Amino acid sequence: MNLTQLRNLVIAAVLITGIGYFVFNQDEGSYKGRSKEDLDKVLPDLDLNQVTRIRIDSPDGSVTLEQKDATWTVSDRGNYPADFKKVGEMARVFEELKALTREEVGESQFARLELLPPGGEEKTGAGTDVSFLDKDGKELSRLRIGKSARRSSEEPDPMGMGMGGSSAGKFVLRTSDMAVFMVSDNLDSIESDPKSWLNKSSFYKVSKAAKVTVQSSEPEMNWTISRGTETDSWSLAGLGPDEKMSTSAANIFNSYMGFPSFVDVSTEQSLMENSKTIKITTFEGFEYTFNVGEKNSDGYYPMTIEVAGRFPESRTPGEGESDEDKAKLDADFARELSKRQEKLTQESALKGTIYLVNSWSVDSGLKKRSEFLDTGKESDEDGNNPISFDDIDTPDEEGVPPILRRPEGMELPVMPNALKDGGKSAEDLINEALENAVQKSTQGIAIPEVSQDVEKVSDEIRSDVESAAEKVAEEVEAKVPVTEDKEPSPDESAPPKVEE
């Protein structure tokens, strides 16, 4: 081979290598589908000052948030006030959203990335559209949120958070030019369910109830209870000569309606048919009227709320008040009056809306009148009559009811002393529990609570029983010699004697 041929071979090898490297990189780029466009805003033309409406459409539903008189509302819920903080945070996320990469993919890949329009009949492959509109309804920007992206196992996190295999963000599509990006924000807070955008922070709260009245078409559901001070017991109006009110049946009303919440609102007036009315007057001068409809299939009550207030406008000075004390007490009174008036203004705005509330916040107040009466069985703190001995059987000679009686033939385990403080054995502990149970039962305490006492003792000694059994077994094994199998002699037939 001469010098010219060698030179030509080298040139050819270089050309082939260069072409191969170029083709390889092209294939890799096509495979990854990415060209860097780091830190560029995905919606560069979005101006939040012009946005007065935000619409979210997903395969599962839609919601429209609209600004009315400087207040964001949920249009799909009768323009009920929206969670302003949540709306503002979402808007800022989209205004500042930046691309990690721009994805070089065609429309044929949109279904795989869940970037198809959400309005079609087929939900598979569809994304969620977030549209920003101005006061005239003109669309300013729209972004479609697709599937979550996961980093390959060998690809480093571009945000410096380690290697791949974890979530890398979301695929999104800018509808104005159909450009696809990958962003680091997961955008998981973007929901199309209207009730998730309602402002639930401003609701009522009843405290220091003085009088509760329930009115219904059912005669048994009509009653009134009241008390003179916050520390007094409740009394039932209209008690007959042979009727006596249970001392604990009304205790639930000490905090009734004091921890309210709602899950949704409605504009369907038909939900309030056959409603019951609950009226609560408080020692602070608030008057609440709740109209409660029938519980729906989801376990929620539809309820409307009206609030009124009657507050003293001035304070009567006490006898012998000094000028300094009077000035301080007058200032305290003025502050408290201002707080009550502010609370009244806030809660009065709830009028006219039908709220869907959890059943637990209402059920305990929808009692029948007979449930307040003393039937000879003391109620627990929630007003429920516990099981009594007469309901299950008669106690034995020692006063132990069958539910707590040790089954015949059951022997308690033999345990070393001093397994517990005071050297009490398992039998001592259980006997103490039984004695306490009998005492509690005679005092009107519910059987379930008594059973819990015994169960607690059993739990406490279980580990000691097991460890004691293991210890005894070890001692027996150590003191009994191990012998080979053979016919026992007369002396050997007797059990080995183990030293105590």
Q: 381 lies in a domain?
A: no
**Which two three-digit tokens encode residue 224?**
């009134």
**What is the sign, positive or negative, of the torsion defined by CA atoms of 116, 118, 121, 125?**
positive
What secondary structure does DSSP assign to 431-497, as a single string?
A: HHHHHHHHHHHHTT--HHHHHHHHHHHHHHHHHHHHHHHHHHHHHHHHHSPP----PPPTTTTSPPP
The span from the CA of 169 to the CA of 162, in Å, is 15
The span from the CA of 108 to the CA of 116, in Å, is 10
10 Å Cβ neighbour count for 441?
23
Nearest to 401 by CA among 436, 437, 427: 437
Q: 485 lies in a domain?
A: no
**Pair 139, 173 in one domain:** yes
**Pair 357, 415 in one domain:** no
Are the CB atoms for 258 and 360 separated by under 8 Å?
no
The span from the CA of 313 to the CA of 29, in Å, is 77
The span from the CA of 221 to the CA of 214, in Å, is 7
The edge-to-edge listing of strands for the beta sheet with 179-183 is 34-41, 98-103, 179-183, 167-174, 139-150, 128-133, 53-58, 61-68, 71-74, 80-81
Scanning the structure block, which residue is given the tokens 């005492």?
A: 439
Are the CB atoms for 146 and 116 separated by under 8 Å?
no
The span from the CA of 49 to the CA of 134, in Å, is 9
Q: 378 lies in a domain?
A: no
Burial class (CB in 10 A: 0-12, 13-18, 19+), 261: exposed
**Pair 303, 242 in one domain:** yes
List the pLDDT tens digit at each of the 500 positions of the chain.
565 665 666 566 655 655 555 444 443 333 344 444 445 899 998 999 999 999 999 999 999 999 998 899 999 999 999 999 999 999 999 999 999 999 998 999 999 999 999 987 778 999 999 999 999 999 999 999 999 977 665 555 544 544 445 567 899 999 999 999 999 998 988 999 999 999 999 899 999 999 999 999 999 999 999 999 999 999 999 999 989 998 788 888 998 998 889 999 999 999 999 999 999 999 999 999 999 999 999 999 999 999 999 999 889 888 888 989 999 999 999 999 999 999 999 999 999 999 999 998 898 889 899 999 988 755 555 555 554 444 444 555 555 655 555 555 555 555 454 444 455 555 666 666 666 665 655 554 544 454 555 555 555 555 555 666 666 566 555 555 544 444 544 444 444 444 44
Phi-psi domain of 70 (left: phi exceeds 0; alpha: psi -120 through 50; beta: other): left
**What is the sign, positive or negative, of the torsion defined by CA atoms of 229, 235, 236, 238?**
negative
φ, ψ for residue 100 (rounded to 5)? -80, -45
**Pair 54, 136 in one domain:** yes
**Pair 59, 103 in one domain:** yes
**Pair 190, 44 in one domain:** yes
pTM to 2 decimal places: 0.65
**Pair 57, 147 in one domain:** yes
**Pair 71, 180 in one domain:** yes
Give the domain range for residue 415: 389-479
**Pair 102, 80 in one domain:** yes
**Which two three-digit tokens encode residue 201?**
């922070």
Nearest to 176 by CA among 54, 64, 35, 46: 46
Q: 18 lies in a domain?
A: yes
**Pair 360, 452 in one domain:** no
Q: 497 lies in a domain?
A: no
**Pair 219, 352 in one domain:** yes
Domain tally for the chain?
A: 4
Q: 486 lies in a domain?
A: no
**Which two three-digit tokens encode residue 70?**
């400087």
What DSSP character marks residue 416? -
Nearest to 155 by CA among 101, 97, 98, 99: 101
**Which two three-digit tokens encode residue 479?**
């003191």
pLDDT of residue 141: 95
Q: 417 lies in a domain?
A: yes
Residues facing 306 on adjacent strands = 289
Burial class (CB in 10 A: 0-12, 13-18, 19+), 253: buried
pLDDT of residue 189: 87
pLDDT of residue 123: 84
**Pair 192, 49 in one domain:** yes
| Secondary structure class of 200 (helix, strand, coil) | coil
Q: 484 lies in a domain?
A: no
